[in-house]
Amino acid sequence: MDTAPRTIIVGAGFAGLAAAVRLADAGRSVVVVEATKAGGGRSRSFHDKVTGREVDNGQHLMMGCYRETLAFLDAIGTPAGDIDLQTNLALTMLKPGGAKVELDCPSLPAPLHLAAGLLRMRGVGVLHRAAALRAGLLLRGEIARPDDNETCDAWLRRLGQTSTIRAAFWEPLIWAVLNDDPLVASAAMLVAVLERAFMASREASSLAVPRRPLSSLYVDRAVARIEARGGEVRFASPARKLELDPEGQVSGLVLKSGERLVADQVITAVPPHVLLELLPDAARDHLVFRDVARLESSPIISLWVTLAEPLLDRPFVGLIGSPLHWLWDRDRLESSAAATKPGNNLLSVTISGARSFVNDQPDALRELLIGELTRFFPDARPTIQAFRVVKEKRATISHAAGTYRRRPETASPIPGLSLAGDWVRTGLPATIESAVQSGHDAAQRVLSPR
Ligand SMILES: Cc1cc2nc3c(=O)[nH]c(=O)nc-3n(C[C@H](O)[C@H](O)[C@H](O)COP(=O)(O)OP(=O)(O)OC[C@H]3O[C@@H](n4cnc5c(N)ncnc54)[C@H](O)[C@@H]3O)c2cc1C
C-alpha cells in the first residue's frame, strides 16, 4: 500500500485530464487512473483497420464559446493550427436534391452578427428568417425564459417558429448540441448554449473543428504535461471501489487489480453508471446518487466511409430532414494531402440521438447511408470502398426536459469526493466544454476547499 497524500482522479477523458492538468500545474501530487489502454473516453481516436485510417469515435465540433476547453488546450500546448476556428459563424445545410441553405454571419458585434446572418440566410424565405429573429427577444430578456420543464418543441412553438426555419436552423442545432429529439429535449439547456454562443462576442458562435485525431489533439499532450509536473497517469488501471474512513471521509481507492491507493481527495471523472459502481454500497442510497441513477443516456452513431472520389465541396454540411445529421470530409478538415487525391476520401457521418438506429446491423446502416446520399446528392453516385460503424450507446446523458435537477453538484455528499464529467451540474449540456468546466471546477474545489 502506498501512503503519500495526493489527489486521485478516476478517468482520463476531457474532464479527468483537465482536472489533473489544473492540479499538477498548481503543484499538487496527482495520479490519474484510467480503465482503458489509451484514455480519451468518449472523445478519442483509434487506428481503424477497415478504413485503414486514424478515426475518432465520432466527429467532434467545438465553438468559440468553449472558453474552458480552449484554455485547457492552450495549457497543454496545443498549437493554434490544430483547431480550425471560423472567423465568423458560417454553416451550409443541404435540402433533399442538394439545394443549399447558407448561414453566413458578417463581421458585426454580437448578437447583430447573428441577426444579420439570419436575415440574409440563403435558401429560406424572408418570413421564416424573420421568425428566427424572435429568439433574439428571448435572449434580450423580452420574452419569458423557458424553465427546464419546457421542451424545445414547445418553446419553438411559443416563439412562433415556422416549420421551415425549424428544419433549416433550430432542429439541426438542437440535435447537435443536446443530442436529443426537440420533442423531448429541454429548452433551458438550449438557451444556456444560445446565450454563451450568441450573446457574448462574435467569435463565441464560430465553429471550431479539430484538424487532427482527438487522442493526439489532447490526450497525449495532457499526459505529457501531467508527467512533466511529477504526476502519474496509469492506463489499463480500472478503479473498482472508493474507500471511506470510519468518519465517512474518502481515504482512497481500490483498483480492479486489488491494488489499494491512498488519497485524501478523489475526483471521479467517469460516466454516471460508473460512478454508481464505484460508490460504497451504503452511499448509493443518498438522494443525490439516487437521482444520478435516474439519468438516462442518448446514443450517437458515427459512420466512417472511404469514397473513391470526394463528395463534399467543403469541410462539412448538415442535411435537412434526414436521420443523418452531418457529413464531414475528414481529409479537408485535416487539410491532409489525401483531400485532393482521389481513391481514399474519408467521410464521417453523424447520427445524433440515434435511439431508433442503435440496434441496427451495419448492413442496414449502410443501406440507410446509400439511400440518403442518393436523396441529397442525386448526381454524385459515390462509390463506397470501406464502411465502419462506431456506436456510442451512452454518448451523452439525455437532456430530456425536467431532468437537469438530477445532475449532481461538484461537491458530493461524501467528504473528499468531488464529481466531474460532462454530466454534472455545469449549467451546460453534456459536451466537451461541460466536461472541461467540470474538471476545472473539481480541481478548484480541491485547491480551495470551503
Ligand atoms: C460520438 C460522439 C460525438 C460527440 N460529439 C460532440 C461534439 O461534437 N461536441 C461536443 O462538445 N461534445 C461531443 N460529444 C460529447 C463529448 O464527447 C463528451 O462530452 C466528453 O468526451 C465527455 O468527457 P468526460 O471526461 O466527461 O467523460 P468520458 O470521455 O466518458 O471519460 C471517462 C473516462 O473514464 C474512464 N473509465 C470508465 N470507467 C473507469 C473505471 N472504473 N476506472 C478508471 N477509469 C474509468 C473511461 O475509459 C473514460 O476514459 C460527443 C460524444 C460522442 C460519443
The CATH T-level fold of domain 297-397 is Polyamine Oxidase; Chain A, domain 2 (3.90.660)
CATH class of 7-43+213-295+400-447: alpha beta
Task: Answer yes or no: is the C-beta of 222 below 6 A from any ligand 1 atom.
Answer: no
Q: Which of 21, 42, 215, 333 has the most ligand 1 atoms within 8 A of CB, as the residue to mutate?
A: 42
Q: What's the confidence (pLDDT) of residue 1?
A: 46
Residue bearing the CA closest to ligand 1, atom 48? 41
pLDDT of residue 340: 55
Handedness of CA 8, 10, 14, 15 (dihedral sign): negative
Distance 331 CA to ligand 1 centre (A): 24
Q: Is the CB of 69 under 6 A from ligand 1?
A: no
Atom number, ligand 1, closest to the C-alpha of residue 420:
26
Does residue 138 surpass a pLDDT of 80?
no
Cα of 225 vs centre of ligand 1, distance in Å, is: 20
In the reported structure, the alpha carbon of residue 357 is separated from the centroid of ligand 1 by a whole-number distance in angstroms of 21
Arithmetic mean of pLDDT, 137-165: 88
For the chain, which residues make up each domain, given as ranges? 7-43+213-295+400-447, 103-203, 297-397
Angle of the 432-447 helix axis to the 14-25 helix axis, nearest 10: 30
Distance from the alpha carbon of residue 14 to the mean position of ligand 1, in angstroms: 7
If you measure from the C-alpha of residue 329 to the centroid of ligand 1, how many angstroms do you get, rounded to a whole number?
A: 23
In this model, does residue 3 exceed pLDDT 70?
A: no
CA of 274 to the centre of ligand 1 (A): 12
Place of cell 485525431: 213
Ligand 1 close to Cβ of residue 325 (< 6 A): no
pLDDT greater than 60 at residue 216: yes
What digits encode the pLDDT tens for the residues 339-365? 556 678 999 999 999 999 999 999 999
Kindly state the average pLDDT of the residues 132-142.
75
Please work out whether the CB of residue 56 comes within 6 Å of at least one atom of ligand 1.
no
CA of 17, closest atom in ligand 1? 25
Spell out the SS3 assignment of the chain.
CECCCCEEEECCCHHHHHHHHHHHHCCCCEEEECCCCCCCCCCCEEEECCCCEEEECCCCCEECCCHHHHHHHHHCCCCHHHEEECCCCEEEEECCCCCEEEEECCCCCCCHHHHHHHHCCECCCHHHHHHHHHHHHHHCCCCCCCCCCCEHHHHHHHCCCCHHHHHHHHHHHHHHHHCCCCCCEEHHHHHHHHHHHHCCCCHHHCEEEECCCHHHHHHHHHHHHHHHCCCEEECCCCEEEEEECCCCCEEEEEECCCCEEECCEEEECCCHHHHHHHCCHHHHHCHHHHHHHCCCEEEEEEEEEEECCCCCCCCEEEECCCCCCEEEEHHHHCCCHHHCCCCCEEEEEEECCCCCCCCCCHHHHHHHHHHHHHHHCCCCCCCEEEEEEEEEEEEEECCECCCHHHCCCCECCCCCEEECCCCCCCCCCCCHHHHHHHHHHHHHHHHCCC
What is the residue with the minimal CA distance to atom 20 of ligand 1? 432
Which pLDDT score is estimated for 112? 85
The tens digit of pLDDT for each residue in 35-83 reads 999 999 999 999 999 999 999 999 999 999 999 999 999 999 999 899 9
Inform me whether the pLDDT recorded for 263 exceeds 80.
yes
C-alpha distance from residue 398 to each of 191, 193, 205, 358, 417 (Å): 16, 16, 23, 15, 24
Query: With a 6 A CB cut-off, is 19 part of the ligand 1 pocket?
Result: no
Give the pLDDT confidence score for residue 338 in this predicted structure. Answer: 52
How sure is the predictor about 115, in pLDDT bands with cuts at 50, 70 and 90?
confident
Q: Kindly tell me if the per-residue pLDDT of 285 is higher than 60.
A: yes
Q: Is the pLDDT score of 198 beyond 90?
A: no
Residue 130 has a pLDDT of 84
Instruction: Work out which ligand 1 atom sits closest to the CA atom of 176.
Output: 8
Query: Which residue's C-alpha comes closest to atom 35 of ligand 1?
Result: 11
Atom of ligand 1 nearest to the CA of 256: 41
Pocket test for ligand 1, best of 8, 31, 34, 43 (most atoms within 8 A of CB): 43
pLDDT band at 232 (very low <50, low <70, confident <90, very high): very high
Rounded to whole angstroms, how far apart are CA atoms 44 and 216? 9
Whether residue 336 is predicted with pLDDT greater than 80 in this model: the reply is no
Inform me whether the pLDDT recorded for 172 exceeds 50: yes
Same CATH topology for 7-43+213-295+400-447 and 297-397: the answer is no
**What confidence score (pLDDT) does residue 211 get?**
94
Provide the pLDDT confidence category of residue 126 given band limits of 50, 70 and 90.
confident
The residue contributing the CA closest to ligand 1 atom 14 is 431
Mean of pLDDT over the chain: 93
Q: Is the CB of 214 under 6 A from ligand 1?
A: no
For the CA of 33, the closest atom of ligand 1 is 43
Q: What pLDDT score does 301 carry?
A: 98
Check residue 342 and give its pLDDT: 66
> Does the pLDDT at position 180 exceed 90?
yes
Does 403 contact ligand 1 (Cβ within 6 A)?
A: no
